[in-house]
Amino acid sequence: NAGVMQNPRHLVRRRGQEARLRCSPMKGHSHVYWYRQLPEEGLKFMVYLQKENIIDESGMPKERFSAEFPKEGPSILRIQQVVRGDSAAYFCASSPVSGGASEQFFGPGTRLTVL
Protein backbone atom coordinates (compact mmCIF):
# COMPACT_ATOMS: atom_id res chain seq x y z
CA ASN A 1 0.00 0.00 0.00
CA ALA A 2 1.73 3.12 -1.20
CA GLY A 3 1.84 6.06 1.14
CA VAL A 4 0.60 9.55 0.45
CA MET A 5 2.06 10.79 -2.82
CA GLN A 6 2.76 14.39 -3.64
CA ASN A 7 4.09 15.91 -6.79
CA PRO A 8 6.03 17.71 -7.78
CA ARG A 9 8.51 17.45 -4.92
CA HIS A 10 10.07 20.75 -5.87
CA LEU A 11 8.44 23.57 -7.78
CA VAL A 12 9.94 26.87 -8.85
CA ARG A 13 7.72 29.67 -10.02
CA ARG A 14 8.22 33.32 -10.84
CA ARG A 15 6.09 35.95 -9.19
CA GLY A 16 2.68 36.13 -10.81
CA GLN A 17 2.65 32.57 -12.11
CA GLU A 18 0.35 29.80 -10.95
CA ALA A 19 1.44 26.88 -8.79
CA ARG A 20 -0.46 23.63 -8.84
CA LEU A 21 0.33 21.03 -6.19
CA ARG A 22 -1.01 17.48 -6.33
CA CYS A 23 -1.73 14.98 -3.61
CA SER A 24 -2.80 11.37 -3.97
CA PRO A 25 -4.02 10.00 -0.62
CA MET A 26 -3.34 6.53 0.63
CA LYS A 27 -5.56 3.86 -0.82
CA GLY A 28 -8.86 3.75 1.01
CA HIS A 29 -8.47 7.25 2.47
CA SER A 30 -11.17 9.74 1.58
CA HIS A 31 -10.08 12.58 3.86
CA VAL A 32 -7.33 14.95 2.74
CA TYR A 33 -5.67 17.79 4.62
CA TRP A 34 -3.26 20.44 3.37
CA TYR A 35 -0.67 22.11 5.59
CA ARG A 36 1.91 24.80 4.98
CA GLN A 37 5.30 24.99 6.68
CA LEU A 38 7.11 28.28 6.45
CA PRO A 39 10.86 28.32 7.19
CA GLU A 40 11.56 27.96 10.91
CA GLU A 41 7.84 27.54 11.61
CA GLY A 42 5.58 24.66 12.53
CA LEU A 43 3.04 23.22 10.14
CA LYS A 44 -0.14 25.24 9.83
CA PHE A 45 -3.48 23.82 8.79
CA MET A 46 -4.88 25.17 5.53
CA VAL A 47 -7.81 23.10 4.34
CA TYR A 48 -9.63 19.82 4.92
CA LEU A 49 -11.44 18.07 2.09
CA GLN A 50 -13.48 14.97 1.59
CA LYS A 51 -14.22 13.62 -1.83
CA GLU A 52 -15.76 16.48 -3.85
CA ASN A 53 -16.34 18.57 -0.71
CA ILE A 54 -14.43 21.24 1.16
CA ILE A 55 -15.11 20.63 4.84
CA ASP A 56 -12.97 23.35 6.40
CA GLU A 57 -10.91 25.99 4.62
CA SER A 58 -10.44 28.28 7.59
CA GLY A 59 -6.65 28.12 7.38
CA MET A 60 -6.42 28.99 3.73
CA PRO A 61 -5.90 32.58 2.54
CA LYS A 62 -9.08 33.84 0.92
CA GLU A 63 -7.27 35.33 -2.04
CA ARG A 64 -5.35 33.36 -4.67
CA PHE A 65 -5.58 29.96 -2.93
CA SER A 66 -8.02 27.21 -3.78
CA ALA A 67 -8.25 23.48 -3.23
CA GLU A 68 -10.25 20.63 -4.66
CA PHE A 69 -10.56 16.89 -4.26
CA PRO A 70 -12.49 15.56 -7.25
CA LYS A 71 -14.28 12.27 -7.38
CA GLU A 72 -11.54 10.91 -9.59
CA GLY A 73 -7.91 11.90 -9.36
CA PRO A 74 -5.69 13.61 -6.83
CA SER A 75 -6.41 16.55 -4.60
CA ILE A 76 -5.12 19.82 -6.02
CA LEU A 77 -3.92 22.88 -4.16
CA ARG A 78 -3.76 25.83 -6.51
CA ILE A 79 -2.01 29.10 -5.84
CA GLN A 80 -2.62 31.82 -8.35
CA GLN A 81 -0.35 34.82 -8.95
CA VAL A 82 2.27 33.53 -6.53
CA VAL A 83 4.29 35.95 -4.41
CA ARG A 84 7.60 35.44 -2.63
CA GLY A 85 5.79 34.93 0.66
CA ASP A 86 4.20 31.78 -0.75
CA SER A 87 7.60 30.07 -0.71
CA ALA A 88 7.17 27.20 1.72
CA ALA A 89 6.80 23.47 2.04
CA TYR A 90 3.27 22.28 1.43
CA PHE A 91 2.30 18.97 2.99
CA CYS A 92 -0.69 16.85 2.30
CA ALA A 93 -2.03 14.27 4.75
CA SER A 94 -4.79 11.72 4.47
CA SER A 95 -6.86 9.62 6.84
CA PRO A 96 -9.43 6.87 6.39
CA VAL A 97 -11.93 8.62 8.64
CA SER A 98 -12.10 11.93 10.41
CA GLY A 99 -11.86 12.55 14.13
CA GLY A 100 -9.19 12.91 16.78
CA ALA A 101 -8.48 9.20 16.97
CA SER A 102 -7.83 8.89 13.27
CA GLU A 103 -4.18 9.25 12.42
CA GLN A 104 -3.20 11.46 9.53
CA PHE A 105 -0.49 10.12 7.26
CA PHE A 106 1.71 12.73 5.64
CA GLY A 107 3.18 12.92 2.19
CA PRO A 108 6.77 14.01 1.51
CA GLY A 109 5.72 17.57 0.72
CA THR A 110 6.14 19.95 -2.18
CA ARG A 111 8.72 22.65 -1.75
CA LEU A 112 7.62 25.77 -3.56
CA THR A 113 10.15 28.46 -4.34
CA VAL A 114 8.94 31.74 -5.77
CA LEU A 115 11.62 33.78 -7.51
Partner 1 sequence: KNQVEQSPQSLIILEGKNCTLQCNYTVSPFSNLRWYKQDTGRGPVSLTIMTFSENTKSNGRYTATLDADTKQSSLHITASQLSDSASYICVVITSGYALNFGKGTSLLVTP
- The answer to whether the CB of 86 falls within 8 A of the CB of 115 is no
Spatial CA neighbour of 78 closest among 3, 31, 11: 11
Measured from the CB atom, the residue of 22 and 64 that comes closer to partner 1 is 22
70 Cβ contact list (under 8 Å, min separation 6): 51, 52, 76
Contact map string, positions 6 to 45, toward partner 1, x by CB under 8 A: -------------------------x-x-x----xxxxxx
| Choices 14-22, 64-72, 78-86, 87-95 (CB under 8 A): range interacting with partner 1 | 87-95
In whole angstroms, give the CA distance from residue 4 to residue 111.
16
**R_g (Cα) of the chain, nearest Å:** 13
User: Nearest approach, Cβ of 16 to partner 1 (angstroms)?
Assistant: 27
| Chain contacts with partner 1 (rule: CB under 8 A) | 4, 31, 33, 35, 40-45, 48, 56, 91, 93, 95, 98-109, 111
